Amino acid sequence: MALQEQGRDTGAGDCAPSVPRSDSKRGHLAALVLARGGSKGIPLKNIKELGGKPLIAWVLRAAADCRGFDSVWVSTDNDDIEKVAKRFGAQVHRRSAAVSKDNTSSLETIQEFLTHHPEVDMVGNIQATSPCLHPETLSTVIQMIRTEGYDSVFSVVRYHLLRWKDLSGTGGVAMAMNFDPTCRPRRQDWEGELYENGAFYFSTREIITKGFLQGGYAAFYEMKPEHSIDIDVDLDWPIAEQRVKRYGYFGKNNPKVVKLLVCNIDGCLTDGRVYVNQDHELISYHVTDLDGFRMLIEKHVEVRLVSERNISATLRSTLNFPCTIEANVANKRQLVERWITEMGLSDWSQISYMGSSYSDVECLRLAGSSGVPADACRAAKMTDSYVCKYNGGYGAIQEFVEHIMSQGDLQIGSVTENHQQ
C-alpha cells in the first residue's frame, strides 16, 4: 500500500476549508482523461500502442475496474481518439477549439468540461501518460475524497536526489539545495523528497471553479516508484514499454498461482500456415517457444496444446513436444473445464491461456492470465490479455511465458501459499 499524508496543506490559499467535511456522500465523481490530438512530442501519443494496447486504454481499464467512479470520460478534439475511447468503454466530451491549443492548461480544459456537465461534483483527472496506474490506487484515493472529506488529492513519488542550484548560470558555481555536502546523507538514512508525478489530480468542483487543482483540505497519495512513469518524448517510450510489461495492470482476472498453461497451436505456436503434399502435412514453429514450455514445466506448470484441426499421429510423433496435444477441439472452454476438474484445480484463476483466434476469446476472458500474439484477431486483443510484440510462430509463446514468470504477485506451479504484495 502506498502511503498517504493526512491533511497536508498545499498552500492554495482560502479557496476551500482547511478542515475535513463531515458529510460522507459528496455526489457524482467523474474520471476525466484529457487527450488532445495535437501532441507535439509524440503525434497522437494518447492512442499509440504501448504493450499491445493504445496508451489511453491502460488508464481507462484501471478507472473502470476500480468501480468507484460514477462516470468515466475522455476529453478530446480528435476523431481517432474518440473512437478508441469509446471502444474501451469511456464516454467522450468533445472539447472546444478554445481549450485545444498548445498553451491550454489542464485546469482550463477541466473547467470547460464542468460547464457542460453540471451533474459532476468531483473530478478525478487521470493522465493517459501514466500507464502503470492500478485500480487499487484509484480506489484508495476515491475513499479519501468521498468519505474522508478531502477537497483534493494528488499523486507523488519519493526520490532520493541530491539537488544543486546553478548560481553562475554557466555551470561554474553551484550551491547544495537539500543537503550538506560536508555531511552527505546515506540513502537509507534519508527519507528523500516527494515530487508530483502527474498521474492524477482529484478535486471538488468548488476547488476547480475557483481556479485551482489543489487546495482546501488537501492530501497527497504516494505511489510506488515502479508504478510511477510519465511519457513525454520518444525516448520515454521503450522505457515505458518495459515498465508496463512488468508492473502494468492487465485486468481483473489476476491469478495468484499458475498451474496450467493452455496454448492454441494454430496461430500461437505456428504462424497459422500449413504446408501439404499428397502424403504429408507440415507446420513450422520457433524453437525458442519450446524453451518457453520447458521453463514452465521446470516450475511444475502443466503445459497442454489445443488445435481445432486434425493433427495426424505421424505429425505428433515427429513433433515430440514435452506436453499433451489435443486435436479436433470443437469447444475449447469445455475441454479446459474438463482439465480443471481432472487436475483438481480450483477454477479458471489458475489457468494461463494463450490464443489468437475468435474461438479463443471466451477462454482468454475466463483465464486468470492470458496472452495473444501481435497478429491475433482484434476480438482476442480486446480481452484483458497481454499482447506480445512477436507474431505467432515467431517467439510469442516464449515472450508470454517470460511475462508470466516476471509478475511479482504470481506464484508458479507447485507453490500453494499465496504471496500478498
CATH number at residue 391: 3.40.50.1000
CB 120 within 8 Å of CB 28:
yes
Verify that 284 and 335 share a domain, yes or no. Answer: yes
Residues 6+ apart with CB under 8 A from 277: none
Q: Is the pLDDT of residue 96 over 80?
A: yes
pTM of the model: 0.68
For residue 242, give the H/E element and its range: helix 236-247
Verify that 192 and 300 share a domain, yes or no. Answer: no
As a whole-number percent, the residues of the chain with pLDDT over 90 amount to: 56
Using a 10 angstrom Cβ sphere, with 0-12 exposed, 13-18 middle and 19 or more buried, the burial of residue 373 is buried
Instruction: Establish if 418 belongs to a structural domain.
Output: no
Q: What are the pLDDT digits (tens) for 359-407?
A: 999 999 888 889 999 999 999 988 878 899 999 999 999 999 998 887 7
Q: What are the pLDDT digits (tens) for 24-36?
A: 468 999 999 999 9
What is the side-by-side strand order in the sheet with 152-159? 4-5, 218-222, 152-159, 193-204, 120-126, 28-34, 71-76, 91-94
In the chain, the number of structural domains is 2
Verify that 77 and 223 share a domain, yes or no. Answer: yes
Domain endpoint, select from 196, 217, 247: 247
Instruction: Establish if 125 belongs to a structural domain.
Output: yes
Domain endpoint, select from 224, 247, 270: 247
Instruction: Establish if 224 belongs to a structural domain.
Output: yes
Verify that 289 and 156 share a domain, yes or no. Answer: no
Q: Is the pLDDT of residue 276 over 80?
A: no
Q: Residue 43 has what pLDDT? A: 79
Distance CA 155, CA 140 (A): 12
Q: Residue 8 has what pLDDT? A: 39
Verify that 47 and 167 share a domain, yes or no. Answer: yes
CATH for 124: 3.90.550.10
Verify that 307 and 336 share a domain, yes or no. Answer: yes
Verify that 322 and 183 share a domain, yes or no. Answer: no
Verify that 31 and 68 share a domain, yes or no. Answer: yes
Distance CA 101, CA 99 (A): 6
Instruction: Establish if 421 belongs to a structural domain.
Output: no
Instruction: Establish if 417 belongs to a structural domain.
Output: no
Verify that 221 and 264 share a domain, yes or no. Answer: no
Binning pLDDT at 50, 70 and 90, where does residue 133 land?
Answer: very high
* DSSP strand pairing (71-76 vs 4-5): unpaired
Question: Looking at the annotation, which residues are catalytic?
Answer: 184
Instruction: Establish if 243 belongs to a structural domain.
Output: yes
DSSP code, position 407? -
Distance CA 399, CA 184 (A): 43
Structural domain boundaries, residue 178: 4-247
Verify that 315 and 337 share a domain, yes or no. Answer: yes
Distance CA 296, CA 162 (A): 43
Q: Is the pLDDT of residue 128 over 50?
A: yes
Distance CA 229, CA 225 (A): 8
Distance CA 57, CA 42 (A): 17
Mean pLDDT of the chain: 85
Verify that 14 and 127 share a domain, yes or no. Answer: yes
Which of 76-90, 297-311, 360-374 tops mean pLDDT?
76-90
Instruction: Establish if 135 belongs to a structural domain.
Output: yes
Better-predicted residue by pLDDT, 214 or 312: 214
